[in-house]
């Protein structure tokens, strides 16, 4: 009896453990089911695999485009000169102010001219005497009263006297400094009473109504650039754009840089333009009636060149190589590889793979 009770006790303990284990498994299963139905559980992946990548596209349509060449240069005047005295002397008077508009021939500075005036008077008097002597010699020679040598001497003296007058007139002219053309005077760097010489710059005259920009273009541009082509000049410092015209192309390509010098004139300068300003020149070389352009952010560079992602009718994408043309700050012309109506991806490029599905958004 004792053994039987013990056996029953052991069996009871074992059954209790088994029933407890079953209860634990049931509780765990219930917790799992509850966890799967709660809001915090991760959502199951949709049927069909990876969701389409969201992208934004542009639909290509032909539009007019100007092909052009661009270069950076400096605004300069076609007429600009330093006003320096041609002779040494004392400044007698100054006849202009800083930044004053001046006319061609307008007197700017006068030097003391007493010596020049006296020299001209002396030369003029001597020339009159030489002319009278020549007249008498000719009359006497006609009557046979003087030899040919005497007449030749009188003619030579007259020539020398007239040359002396011209020299004296030139010396007097050099005491007056005048504007060589219409323009604007620079800063006045001279005052009456100062002694000046040809090394001294008294001011500068600039013709601000005749401006140009000199640039250098690569030698292949010679096939597209010609005198008379329209251009535009943009001065970034002043956010100013003015029309221009190709006025000169150098006859020779520079050996060291393989570039050619081109001058773009500005027929109607803006009053705000000043010589020395940096400017970007854009020369229109051809006009295309129907060109395709893509935003610069759509381009995918590689070792083989440029490519773009294009969305097909089944919303899959493919990477198409393209050949580019004219560039602007935000767009690039595509001359080969795309057609009108193509959908080109401009946002979401980093998530794309060839053949991947995409969701085109606004």
pLDDT attached to residue 303: 82
Q: Residue 350 pLDDT > 80, yes or no?
A: yes
pLDDT attached to residue 3: 42
Q: Residue 330 pLDDT > 90, yes or no?
A: no
- Which SS3 state, helix, strand or coil, does residue 31 take? helix
Q: How many CA atoms lie within 13 A of 8 on its CB side?
A: 5
Residue 32 banded pLDDT, cuts 50, 70, 90: very low
Residue 45 banded pLDDT, cuts 50, 70, 90: very low
Burial (CB count within 10 angstroms: exposed 0-12, middle 13-18, buried 19+), residue 328: middle
**pLDDT, the chain, mean:** 86
pLDDT attached to residue 263: 96
pLDDT attached to residue 68: 83
Distance CA 283, CA 67 (A): 8
For residue range 232-284, list pLDDT tens digits in order: 999 999 899 999 999 999 999 999 999 999 999 998 888 889 899 999 999 98
Per-residue tokens: 362: 């606004």
Residue 307 banded pLDDT, cuts 50, 70, 90: very high
Residue 49 banded pLDDT, cuts 50, 70, 90: low
Q: Residue 10 pLDDT > 90, yes or no?
A: no
Neighbours of 83 (CB within 10 A): 21
C-alpha angle 350-351-356 in degrees, rounded to nearest 5: 130
**Quick one: which of 204, 206, 198, 205 has its CA closest to 111?**
198
pLDDT attached to residue 304: 82
Model confidence, pTM: 0.61
pLDDT attached to residue 326: 81
Residue 40 banded pLDDT, cuts 50, 70, 90: very low
Q: Residue 107 pLDDT > 60, yes or no?
A: yes
Residue 38 banded pLDDT, cuts 50, 70, 90: very low
Q: Residue 47 pLDDT > 60, yes or no?
A: no
């Amino acid at each position: 009896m004792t053994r039987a009770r013990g056996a029953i006790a052991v069996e009871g303990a074992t059954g209790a453990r088994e029933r407890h284990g079953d209860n634990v498994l049931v509780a765990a299963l219930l917790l799992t089911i509850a966890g799967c139905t709660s809001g915090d559980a991760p959502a199951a992946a949709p049927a069909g695999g990876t969701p389409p990548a969201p992208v934004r596209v542009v639909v290509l349509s032909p539009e007019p485009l100007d092909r052009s060449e661009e270069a950076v240069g400096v605004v300069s005047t076609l007429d600009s000169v330093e006003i320096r005295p041609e002779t040494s002397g004392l400044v007698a008077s100054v006849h202009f102010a800083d930044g004053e508009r001046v006319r061609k021939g307008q007197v700017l500075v006068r030097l003391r001219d007493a010596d020049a005036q006296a020299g001209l008077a002396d030369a003029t008097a001597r020339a009159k005497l030489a002319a009278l002597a020549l007249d008498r010699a000719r009359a006497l020679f006609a009557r046979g009263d003087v030899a040919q040598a005497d007449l030749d001497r009188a003619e030579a003296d007259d020539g020398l006297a007239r040359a002396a007058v011209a020299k004296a007139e030139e010396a007097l002219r050099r005491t007056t400094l005048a504007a060589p053309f219409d323009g604007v005077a620079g800063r006045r760097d001279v005052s009456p009473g100062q002694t000046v010489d040809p090394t001294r710059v008294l001011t500068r005259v600039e013709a601000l109504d005749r401006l140009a920009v000199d640039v250098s273009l690569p030698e292949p541009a010679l096939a597209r650039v010609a005198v008379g082509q329209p251009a535009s000049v943009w001065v970034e410092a002043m956010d100013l754009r003015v029309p221009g015209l190709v006025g000169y192309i150098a006859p020779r390509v520079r050996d060291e840089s393989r570039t050619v010098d081109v001058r773009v004139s500005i027929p109607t300068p803006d009053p705000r333009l000043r010589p020395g300003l940096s400017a970007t020149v854009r020369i229109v070389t051809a006009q295309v009636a129907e060109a395709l352009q893509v935003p610069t952010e759509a381009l995918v560079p590689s070792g083989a060149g440029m490519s773009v992602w294009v969305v097909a009718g089944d919303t899959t994408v493919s990477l198409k190589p393209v050949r580019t043309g004219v560039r602007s700050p935000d767009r690039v012309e595509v001359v080969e590889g795309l057609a009108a109506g193509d959908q080109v991806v401009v946002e979401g490029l980093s998530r794309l793979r060839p053949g991947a599905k995409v969701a085109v958004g606004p």
